[in-house]
């Protein structure tokens, strides 16, 4: 079993510094680090056999992905708030889309985010995530298929006929 005290002592400072760098806020950095440790508790059996460098990489990736999720949610909330102030109420599908994105596995959500939010190609995504380009394309296809299934399910539940 992973010695959590030693593990935290080994990585905490670097993880906090990274969180502080990307958030520019001590409070948000502390929250991100705490969320990362919670995820670490859940996945400690996965982490235990990994070499130290991969464990550290895993921690930083989890922290970065959580920060990107928070930023994405804030951006959506700001857009909705701005539109509400102008008298516009977004359709429920905007909220449903965000909820469906949250259902995807972390890797698929990250690939979608990089492809459509950051406008990256599969080579750039593969380099960033450290996986083969073919895997990026396959995971992108899987993510798109899942999103399509979720959206079609919403249409059926709401008695809306697909176009």
Query: Containing domain of residue 136, as a range?
Result: 91-163
Can you give the CATH number for the domain in which 20 is found?
A: 1.10.1740
Structure tokens at 103: 């259902």
Looking at residue 77, what is its pLDDT?
75
Residue located via tokens 């760098």: 21
Residues 11, 75 share a domain: yes
Residues 75, 53 share a domain: yes
pLDDT > 70? residue 4: yes
How far, in Å, CA of 31 to CA of 120, rounded? Answer: 29
Residues 81, 9 share a domain: yes
pLDDT tens digit string along 14-40? 999 999 999 999 999 999 999 999 999
Residues 11, 63 share a domain: yes
Mean pLDDT of 121-148: 92
Check if the beta carbon of residue 113 is closer than 8 Å to that of residue 68.
Answer: yes
Residues 100, 48 share a domain: no
Structure tokens at 33: 């680090």
Residues 127, 69 share a domain: no
Share of the chain above pLDDT 70, in %: 87
pLDDT tens digit string along 71-82? 888 887 777 666
Angle CA(121)–CA(50)–CA(48) in degrees, nearest 5? 130
The three-class DSSP label of residue 89 is: coil
Indicate the angle between helix axes 4-23 and 52-85, nearest 10 degrees.
40
Contacts of 11 (CB under 8 A, 6+ apart): 55, 56, 59
Looking at residue 87, what is its pLDDT?
60
Mean pLDDT of 101-115: 90
Number of Cβ atoms within 10 Å of the Cβ of 71: 14
Check if the beta carbon of residue 17 is closer than 8 Å to that of residue 26.
Answer: no
Residue located via tokens 């469906």: 100
Residues 116, 48 share a domain: no
* Region for residue 87 given its phi and psi (left: phi exceeds 0; alpha: psi -120 to 50; beta: otherwise): left
How far, in Å, CA of 143 to CA of 133, rounded? Answer: 15
pLDDT tens digit string along 41-72? 888 888 999 999 999 999 999 999 999 988 88
Half-sphere exposure of 30 (CA within 13 A, CB side): 3
Looking at residue 141, what is its pLDDT?
94
Residues 105, 37 share a domain: no
pTM for the structure as a whole? 0.53
Looking at residue 85, what is its pLDDT?
64
Mean pLDDT of 97-116: 87
Residues 47, 10 share a domain: yes
Residues 40, 30 share a domain: yes
């Amino acid at each position: 079993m992973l010695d959590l005290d030693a593990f935290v002592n080994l990585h905490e400072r670097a993880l906090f510094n990274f969180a502080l760098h990307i958030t520019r806020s001590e409070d948000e950095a502390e929250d991100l680090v705490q969320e990362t440790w919670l995820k670490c508790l859940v996945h400690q059996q996965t982490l235990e056999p990994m070499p130290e460098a991969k464990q550290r990489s895993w921690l930083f990736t989890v922290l970065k992905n959580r920060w990107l999720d928070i930023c994405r949610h804030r951006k959506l909330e700001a857009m909705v708030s701005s539109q509400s102030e102008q008298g516009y109420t977004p359709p429920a599908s905007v909220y449903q889309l965000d909820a469906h994105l949250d259902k995807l596995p972390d890797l698929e959500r990250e690939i979608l985010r990089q492809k459509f939010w950051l406008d990256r190609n599969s080579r750039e995504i593969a380099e960033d995530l450290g996986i083969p380009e073919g895997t990026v394309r396959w995971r992108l296809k899987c993510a798109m298929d899942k999103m399509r299934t979720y959206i079609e399910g919403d249409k059926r539940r709401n008695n809306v006929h697909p176009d």
